[in-house]
Structure 1
């Protein structure tokens, strides 16, 4: 297998050479003698200096060539020109390159894909194009200094040494055919400055310089090392020190030879006894017990301080990033490895380091996390689904479950013993962590006991394991393509259908990860037993991207559905609600869960006596932009697809049989130009007044019918066992009486079936801000609709959720779900690197495995973020050609993330002109032929603007691997993406990403960058973040690059959810009132809001008040005021209809944003039909009508 990690190192090296330099290339030439070329072609180069091998710039002046790590003369502005450099006399390769300059690296196919993206309209779901705050550069000055600040002990015999380096370029005249030309020759500059303790430890703040600074090759370049020292907390000998490297050359001397390029410096403090004298920096914004916090740390902050105690900040940068390390560091990465576990033994926290340095292209490798649990002999613990399903004679799998529990108990005991070795400041938090782990293992043991002593539960558990095994094997089938014979009569699928043999599994199939099966054991009792003490406890899964969270709660969902079926309750209601925040992710997970439902239905059909005659089924409940709401819409859509009407979008979501993977949907003609006539629509059929799904292959078990429903009206009638939807779809409870069917309520407002008993809420961290607040208010009613009050003790639903962050998770859960009890799984241990179920991956020697490498680019010398993109993208896209063909695939497809569609559009324009132009510059500079440049074929968009059918097509394109130049199916070259990639885009081959501008939240940054390097053991990821020059937040992240990334999860911003704040109540309380009446009232209430339903509204008041008192009691007076005001409006308006599309009556509800007259505005409630955007939108159009009007007036 190719060494992809070496390929990554090469990619980074080439990026560094492009942005910082130097990049010496070509043959050596003696520059000590006059250089003259009689033939232009002889001068092409590239050349480097004989002897030293140093770089020669033949085309661009150095200030144009490089834009990172440059210190300019003092006061130089971006607008300053460089006329003194006589740049017109630089060798112009545009004169010497042949007609190749007319070629474009963008093929016609790539240009068409760019045009397609340009012409795509609409806004991306879940995105807001609100730009970050930007400030203009101060007087437009170029940077002339960079520095780092740190805290250090300065003993009496201490010597502080600053070693700096860089490069400067001198003009060198050559002759080409008798005419003068300018080359720039690089020479290495080294600087050394020393300071003694007596200079540093004055009583007050002091500014120092070394008058005896040593500088080699600096000549007339005025470079200074400035040092600022001030006392810290009146502690003798401890100082906060700032060291700066400054270019003091005057502005009027602003020519390239007065700039310092490739700037770098490193600071050491040494005494006769030690060199580790630099302490953690007192950063007041960090969560650390050691720093001066304005307020004492709360429990969560103490927990984070414990977990990240090994990732200390020892310096911060100014106009640069900071790095640090101990005295014996040979490589920067070794410090990171020393901070974490090795061979199962806890290492001590590093409290001091020996050196700090200033970095202009900072890098940090984030450790990879593995879910593998190993025995003491190093073998991996695996729990086989076949055994737990009862499919292996003599092995029921229980011993494997007990082994996981025993290993976890042993690990907890080890953690408990280590508490006494911690600093006192960490022990309280450490004990809390261990106590939570003990609670967790106790619940697992109780769950196992429950299974062993409850026959129905054990049976449901076995069936769930069997279904999950079938789900894994069938989901892993190769897609089967639709094909016909030459006469288009006989239909077949390639590859042909074959039954799967569960005795011949792939190595990665049929096995639970330890954390997955532990989660199941922890939750089986509270999910099945409505009287369980943990029924109202919210289970929150916190696990890194790609760890297998979805399988964990799919397994629990299967168990819950089998358990209810075994209860013989003979109800046909919805049992499981799975909710997501983005409709496109919902559609993807729907396709994934459909295979599980087919597996369950397969088992039911084989055992109807035990599992009944009612089918297991699944529905997807999302917006009309994704699926059809009505049956007549679906039939019209089916007819349009059959006519090959390109204006008709396929919203049926199902593009392959979930069981055998046979192709479904419209079969496009082989010749793309064909548009007339009908085409086959595979697997979609009209039946009575609706559209049904069936596998198109007669050999498949689901040839007659697939238990899948996507049409809203079908969902209300069929009440599928599992329903997948978006959170904002639930706003329909105020608009559609039929929604009550989902919750088992009949037209008389009486509960006929059990409501959903299991709610799975994915990506909880995305439910924050305005969306989270709206969801929290609606959730009050959702909880009531899911509560079964037919028994003496009402039965509440079990809630499962997952999150990418644990900041303020208890508060968020309480405000969203109104529940005080929440269990985080897996609970953390004593360090972030090990929670037993998730550990930093190490090799046999105990060293960290490869992780995702993050790189920060802040390029003030380039003048704009757009120029930084052009340079960076060109380097990253061309670099794979420097690798062998076998090494190229991970780095071939560049994934670009943008914070807004506006920024995406700006970059798209760069691919049309600036980037192709810079490829020509690259060709000229490096003396390449046009054939040696990268050619582009596929530019792809992956945003919420894509149609539903386009998303799986885009993902399929991203999965195409690079094999060799000229391959038939070309891989994607560039993918421009928005927040849609945060979740659900799991493509193992992707390893290269650029993030344009720091994302608005750390949780988004974590999720987005988690899309690359998923197979870290084979092809580790490379993420480059381009920071905006005029964005203060971007610059702050750059200057604290290492600190931010080493404590990434601790940096996540707490979410904000305020469901009962005045703006939310004003906007949506009336919707909750209307929804309660429409869903729980009788036929008369559902038909008309008149007369005022006082008994129902008072019931709602009694539901809401306790919730507000528990969540935000300060909002209760305002709630009562708003609630009573809405009652008075309802009574006084006396509206007869809920909504009216005919315009004959004024309804009680009108869609938010819809046009209403001034009279209606005060006689009706504007009500959201989505929880996201509730305001009216309009587009501005530039018109020329004013000119016509003026002309008319003049003529008149």
Structure 2
């Protein structure tokens, strides 16, 4: 698709999105329906007002007004001088006749208002509205008026509230024939009212945001119109797509070709533009001129932030200087760019400037620098963070190979959710395949660049064993763990899965005869834990949970240091601690070959990088537990290999990132890019005219959320079926060319229903079976992506969403998703979302809504559970909540100093040290208690030394954490006593801990209980 075609399609999509939003709203209001077979109270759930007397008498109090308001309007700050304006009220009335209901023509009444400068409430237009209602619904008991209230704010300013109030009598004799006094399709507009803006509270970073608010809606949204305001049933905010070059300077050539050939001149030009922009943008005078309520404190804050920006510039300059001064690093950087060109496969041919900036700022970490700093990339979702990571990783991998690291892990990338690791696997594989092709061309010695997949056993095997869920005799077993959709070398769906009994290996093999990979070999991807440890792939991706394995598997040593040896039999790989079933430590079953020497120096095995995607998800108990394991991994790698890894991370929030990094990693933290002085006006990104996401706040009136959600799905799915049934007429209605209809059906025919609880999502699935009959054929097909969805079903659903079936009837039309879906789902076809209630955190709201609109304009309907205070508060300030969401992200709740957390982690910390440090010293297994007892007899001072070591690892000391140190001492006293007890001689030592054995997963944070079943016979 060329640029002109894309722009034409994008314009059509923008018009369609606007039309679709109106279509849903009109259905909810009943705008297009002159008649109804049912009481409109049971059909229409937007734009309606209940009688004042009914709401006032409700036992629900304020919640009654939120659930079904009796008034809509807004608050504003009138300018000094007389207050005079014209208010226009609009609504319709429904009346029952015989077996049906008929809607009146729209009622429109203009009321001039001249308000005295006196505090108090006043009514206006009661007579005019009574006359208009009598004309369309005589003897109905219907009534309405405009109410104003003039008051004073805390700083003495005049504040004016203007509302349309329904004052109908719900007990009138004819009320039942007029929807019990309801008014429908209500609106209020005011013109000729001169106002000034509200100013949001002055918070840290306030200078970056536009704090002005023209008016506050009351039970509705409020929009500016020519000379005034009007109410809106769906408060709306539109985010625009970012652009990645925002200055007038000539854009440097950041194509892969140029950077693979001669990078420094173009990188220097990028740095020069950044510095010049910074001088203008970070000028105190310029910021003061555009910032209301300037203060000395604000000026000091700006100066400090400007200094942090200059430090970022210096880091980028230092990266360029490294490329000038270090020939090997420059060669690795060029090779990485050549690899990324292959990986991109023609979809793109250059870096975005921010990606290059991050790589340059962190280039020193490829040669072992900045290990004591956590570097966090903070950029909008969809901006290319994964590729940025890959640029750093591939540069480090090439540098490793060029400097003698011929095998072993360069980076371990961990994801909090399995869906993230699954989605990223193909992208990582593609990049590593490109790197491997370059490595071969450059004749760089060493193992092939390879990828390992390390997740829970529910997705891929810990090991392949007979008579297990991963039985090699099961011919379908390999297909169940296929982790790649296409071959990363030729990009064809040509992968055949098989099991190699000779090498005890699950193989992904490409069958494409013209694939550039040597088809005699399996693809360099390893999805079984034991294979990962044998091969030690260049990059390992997986879930965070697997970090717990270091206390359970001696083989995890390969993730932090050198293995015990290398099996001389071809294809068997590295060896580890001996066990009864592997006398020489080889992980291939029945291998008895004496282990050989390692293929490279021991000190090169240390992992160079630990990457943490979606850092903000490491919170609460998961974050606290991980903090202990991160400290453990750091300490063990430092002890065994002499250095800690570099930590790179991405996060959706900057709130509390320094403290989070300190708790998790014991490191200072930096963020890139440094936040710009004006939000949306940075050097690395700015705002384009193209719409990206239209957010609409939905507060159902007089109906349940479940009913409103069902009707929205019916409206959305009906709209698409109308496109299919009559494309010419619908194209004319939307205002686009009919040849775009197939495109719109493809990219807007699937709706995402995002829920916060599985109970809510289960209700949606049930509703699909009974409540969506009004959707024209074909019946909507529903798929689920929640924590309960089987791994194989997740893969199948994602593939179907990315590559839909040709027949619309066979496609997935509705995806029901939970927080599992809030990260890592990057599918261009998802462009309509209905969010069922606000997520618990703002960060989740930002991440979840970013699942739609990745490439095309999108709609996000946020259905508020309006009876809840938080939802009601966000509804009132919806525009600001969406626009300035980063300001409202809650600090990450996390602590490593918790006794309950220590109770869960202490066994893992202790037995990981036993496996990684003491077993090699003992010269044999310390799994059984009697072996440990014998070892302790030869290791006086073991208990005291271990207590000190664990407390030092966790940064517990006598002054700041005496209680926690006491807990460590108590645990070790108990363990040593149990080990010395002869009755325990045959037990596994790791079962003797005071609080049980090591965690199986980092998510096992709750106390474990045994569940016993009763034999029904």
TM-score, normalized by the shorter chain, greater than 0.5: yes
1:1106 Cα offset (Å)? 5.7
1:251 maps to what in 2? 170
CA contact (8 A) 2:482 2:497 kept: no
- 1:579, 1:428 → 2: CA distance? 38
1:831 maps to what in 2? 678
Q: Which of residues 248, 258, 275 in structure 2 aligns to 1:387?
A: 258
5 Å-filtered alignment, 1:472-871, equals 472-473=344-345, 506=346, 508-528=347-367, 530=368, 532=369, 534-568=370-404, 572-608=407-443, 611-632=444-465, 637=470, 639=472, 642=475, 644=476, 650-663=480-493, 682=497, 684-697=499-512, 699-700=514-515, 701-703=517-519, 704-746=521-563, 753-787=604-638, 794-820=642-668, 822-841=669-688, 848-862=689-703, 864-871=704-711
2:158 maps to what in 1? 239
1:974 maps to what in 2? 814
2:749 maps to what in 1? 892
1:263 maps to what in 2? 186
> Structure 1-normalised TM-score?
0.72
Q: Secondary structure at the match of 1:850?
A: strand
1:1105 Cα offset (Å)? 4.8
CA contact (8 A) 1:994 1:1023 kept: yes
5 Å-filtered alignment, 1:1050-1061, equals 1050-1061=887-898
- 2:944, 2:192 → 1: CA distance? 73
- 1:991–1:652 Cα change, 3 Å: closer
Confirm or deny that 1:13 pairs with 2:22.
Answer: yes
- 1:712–1:942 Cα change, 3 Å: same
Q: Which of residues 189, 192, 195 in structure 1 aligns to 2:107?
A: 189
Structure 1: give runs of 5+ residues left out of the alignment: 25-55, 81-134, 174-179, 282-287, 290-300, 331-353, 391-395, 474-505, 666-680, 842-847, 920-932, 1151-1159, 1189-1196
- 1:224, 1:715 → 2: CA distance? 74
2:132 maps to what in 1? 217
Query: For residues 1130-1178 of structure 1, what are the alpha-carbon distances to aligned partners after superposition, in whole Å with 9 as ceiling and x for unaligned?
Result: 12212689xx9xx99444434xxxxxxxxx8x86624321111344688
1:686 Cα offset (Å)? 3.0
1:199 Cα offset (Å)? 4.4
1:165 Cα offset (Å)? 2.4
CA contact (8 A) 1:72 1:259 kept: yes
1:557 Cα offset (Å)? 0.3
1:580 Cα offset (Å)? 0.7
Confirm or deny that 1:166 pairs with 2:91.
Answer: yes
CA contact (8 A) 1:740 1:1080 kept: no
Confirm or deny that 1:437 pairs with 2:309.
Answer: yes
1:814 Cα offset (Å)? 1.4
Q: Secondary structure at the match of 1:435?
A: helix
- 1:269, 1:1100 → 2: CA distance? 78
- 1:975–1:722 Cα change, 3 Å: same
1:59 maps to what in 2? 37
1:71 maps to what in 2? 49
Q: Secondary structure at the match of 1:1023?
A: strand
Stretch of structure 1 that moved more, 206-215 or 258-267: 206-215
1:871 Cα offset (Å)? 1.0
Q: Which of residues 759, 769, 775 in structure 2 aligns to 1:902?
A: 759
CA contact (8 A) 2:415 2:614 kept: yes
- 2:1015, 2:917 → 1: CA distance? 55
1:1044 maps to what in 2? 881
CA contact (8 A) 1:542 1:803 kept: yes
2:207 maps to what in 1? 306
- 1:432, 1:197 → 2: CA distance? 48
1:901 Cα offset (Å)? 2.4
2:241 maps to what in 1? 368
- 1:1179, 1:1031 → 2: CA distance? 37
Q: Secondary structure at the match of 1:988?
A: coil
- 1:1180–1:167 Cα change, 3 Å: farther
- 1:64–1:875 Cα change, 3 Å: same
Query: For residues 848-898 of structure 1, what are the alpha-carbon distances to aligned partners after superposition, in whole Å with 9 as ceiling and x for unaligned?
Result: 322311112211322x11111121111111112143434433221112212
- 1:62, 1:427 → 2: CA distance? 57
- 1:380, 1:214 → 2: CA distance? 63
1:247 Cα offset (Å)? 1.8
- 1:142, 1:731 → 2: CA distance? 47
- 2:132, 2:959 → 1: CA distance? 69
Confirm or deny that 1:405 pairs with 2:222.
Answer: no
- 2:349, 2:876 → 1: CA distance? 46
Structure 2: give runs of 5+ residues left out of the alignment: 1-7, 135-140, 565-575, 578-600, 724-729, 732-740
Q: Secondary structure at the match of 1:364?
A: strand
2:586 maps to what in 1? none
1:1098 Cα offset (Å)? 5.0
CA contact (8 A) 1:77 1:141 kept: no
1:844 maps to what in 2? none
Q: Which of residues 783, 788, 800 in structure 2 aligns to 1:940?
A: 783
1:997 maps to what in 2? 837
- 1:973, 1:992 → 2: CA distance? 11
CA contact (8 A) 1:148 1:315 kept: no
CA contact (8 A) 1:664 1:695 kept: yes
1:694 Cα offset (Å)? 3.3
CA contact (8 A) 1:71 1:144 kept: yes
CA contact (8 A) 1:982 1:1004 kept: yes
Q: Secondary structure at the match of 2:784?
A: strand
Q: Which of residues 194, 198, 207 in structure 1 aligns to 2:121?
A: 207
Query: For residues 420-461 of structure 1, what are the alpha-carbon distances to aligned partners after superposition, in whole Å with 9 as ceiling and x for unaligned?
Result: 524424433333332222211111111111111111111111
- 1:459–1:689 Cα change, 3 Å: same
Q: Which of residues 758, 768, 771 in structure 2 aligns to 1:911?
A: 768
1:832 Cα offset (Å)? 1.0
Confirm or deny that 1:226 pairs with 2:94.
Answer: no
- 2:639, 2:331 → 1: CA distance? 25
Stretch of structure 1 that moved more, 830-839 or 1115-1124: 1115-1124
- 1:433, 1:193 → 2: CA distance? 52
1:779 Cα offset (Å)? 0.9
> Structure 2-normalised TM-score?
0.84
Q: Judging by fraction of residues, say which structure has more helix.
A: 2
- 1:970, 1:199 → 2: CA distance? 65
Cα-Cα RMSD = 3.5
1:1123 maps to what in 2? 968
Q: Secondary structure at the match of 2:556?
A: helix
- 1:381–1:252 Cα change, 3 Å: farther
CA contact (8 A) 2:756 2:818 kept: yes
- 2:788, 2:229 → 1: CA distance? 46
Stretch of structure 1 that moved more, 427-436 or 896-905: 427-436
Q: Secondary structure at the match of 2:853?
A: coil
Q: Secondary structure at the match of 2:909?
A: helix
Q: Which of residues 996, 1001, 1013 in structure 2 aligns to 1:1165?
A: 996
1:1132 maps to what in 2? 977
1:1035 Cα offset (Å)? 2.9
CA contact (8 A) 1:634 1:711 kept: no
Q: Secondary structure at the match of 2:772?
A: helix
- 1:974, 1:753 → 2: CA distance? 50
Q: Secondary structure at the match of 1:940?
A: strand
